A = this chain, B = another copy of it.
Amino acid sequence: MSKSNEILIGIDLGGTNILAAAVTPKGQVLGRSKVKTKAELGAQGVVDRIVKAAKNALKEADVAIDHVKAAGIGAPGVIDFKTGDVSSVVNLRWDYLPLGKILKEQLGVPVHVDNDVNVGTWGEYQAGAAKGHDNLFGIFVGTGIGGGLIINGQLLHGHVGSAGEIGHTCVNVNGAFGRRTLENIASRTAVVNLITSLILANHPSCILDIVEGDLSKIRSKIIAQAIAKKDPLTTQVVRESANYVGIAIANTVTLLSLPCVVLGGGLLEALGSPYLSWVQESFEKNVFPDDLKKCKILPSKLGDDAGAVGAALLANNVFQK
C-alpha cells in the first residue's frame, strides 16, 4: 500500500459510463473502475456512483483514501472550473450542480472540476501522445466533436470557459440547415445518420448485411468493418467527414500557428490509420503557411483513459500551486 499522499483520483463522467482511476503524478494508472452512469437516477444517484467508482479504483490500486492528494473530474456541459459548479449538462439533464463541492465533501480530498475534453487534452499533453509539446490542440470525434487548447503550457479556458469548442465552428456556410458546423457534419452521430439515411434510400452497402437489417445497430466498430471490406458508401461518407475534420484542424493550426495536434475519440479508436491518414491529407491541403504542414497530427495514446488520467494530473497541477 502506498505510503505517501501523492496518489490522484481521476474521473471521466460521461453520459453512458463513469470511469474512475487511481493515478500516479506521472500518469501511471494503478487501478480503474468503470460503472454505468445511470442518469435516470438523478444528480444524487449519479454522484453516489461517481464516489463508488472512485473508491473501487482506489481499492483495485490498493491505495487508502488518506494517501490521496486530490481528485479531478472531467464533466460534460458548462463548467465553472474555479468553483467546480457545473450547469447545462444536457446528457445528464442537470441544470446546475455544485459538483466540486459535493464530491469534496464525500471524498474528503480537494476536487478540481473541468470540461471533459479539456481534461482529455491535458492527459495527452502530460502523459500521452503530446508529451513535451507546450502548445497543442486536442480534438475528439465521437458522439459530438470537442476540442481543448494548451497555450504556453496552460489550458486555455477563455472568457466564458468554453474555449476549444471546434465542433461548433462553421466549415460549410452554404451547407443545408443542420449541416454547417463541424459537429453536425463530421461527428460519429452525423456519420451514422448519413449512412443510415443513404441505406434507407436504397443505396447499396454491406452494412445492411453486417447489422442483419437492423440499422439501429450501426456503431463505430460496424463502420470499421465496412471500411475494411472497402464498402464504397461507407468509405465515401467517412472520407468526406474526415475531410471536414482535417479542414477544421487546418483552420485551428493556421489561426494559432500550432506545432502539434492530438486526434482522439471513438471514431479514430475504431477506424485507426485510414481515418488518421484521410484527416492528415485534408489538413495538409488546407493549412497555411506551408511551414505548418509539418505540424504533427498525433493519434491519442491514452484512448479511453485520457479523460480520467488528464483529470487526475490536472488536479495535481491545480493543487500543487
Give bound CA distance, A288 to B255, whole Å: 18
Give bound CA distance, A78 to B291, whole Å: 11
| Besides A162-B292, A174-B174, 5 other A-B contacts (C-beta < 8 A) | A147-B255, A162-B291, A170-B247, A170-B250, A255-B255
Q: A158-B135, A172-B172 are in contact. Are A255 and B286 (CB under 8 A)?
A: no
Contact assessment for A255 and B163 in the assembled complex, using a CB-CB cutoff below 8 Å: yes
Interface string of A56-93 (1 = CB under 8 A from B): 00000000000000000000001000000000000000
Number of copies of chain A assembled together: 2
Task: Tell yes or no: A131 within 8 A of B by CB.
Answer: no
A interface vs B, CB < 8 Å? Answer: 78, 135, 147, 149, 151, 156-166, 168-175, 181, 243-244, 247, 250-252, 254-259, 286, 288-289, 291-292, 295
| A158: contacting residue among B157, B170, B256, CB under 8 A | B256
The listed residue with most B CB atoms (<10 A of its CB), out of A151, A159, A168, is: A159
| A172: contacting residue among B165, B173, B289, CB under 8 A | B173
Q: A158-B256, A170-B171, A256-B156 are in contact. Are A165 and B135 (CB under 8 A)?
A: no
Contact assessment for A156 and B151 in the assembled complex, using a CB-CB cutoff below 8 Å: yes
Which B residues touch A244, using CB under 8 A?
A: 173
Contact assessment for B259 and A289 in the assembled complex, using a CB-CB cutoff below 8 Å: no
Give bound CA distance, A244 to B173, whole Å: 8
Contact assessment for A289 and B255 in the assembled complex, using a CB-CB cutoff below 8 Å: no
Which B residues touch A251, using CB under 8 A?
A: 169-170, 251
Give bound CA distance, A157 to B163, whole Å: 19
Give bound CA distance, A161 to B256, whole Å: 9
Which B residues touch A256, using CB under 8 A?
A: 149, 156, 158, 163
Give bound CA distance, A78 to B288, whole Å: 12
| A161: contacting residue among B149, B156, B257, CB under 8 A | B257
Which B residues touch A288, using CB under 8 A?
A: 162, 165, 168-169, 181
| A168: contacting residue among B159, B161, B164, B254, CB under 8 A | B254
Give A3 Cβ to nearest chain B Cβ, in Å: 39
When C-beta atoms are compared, the residue in chain B nearest to A285 turns out to be B170
Contact assessment for A162 and B252 in the assembled complex, using a CB-CB cutoff below 8 Å: no
| A258: contacting residue among B158, B166, B170, B181, CB under 8 A | B158
Which B residues touch A295, using CB under 8 A?
A: 159
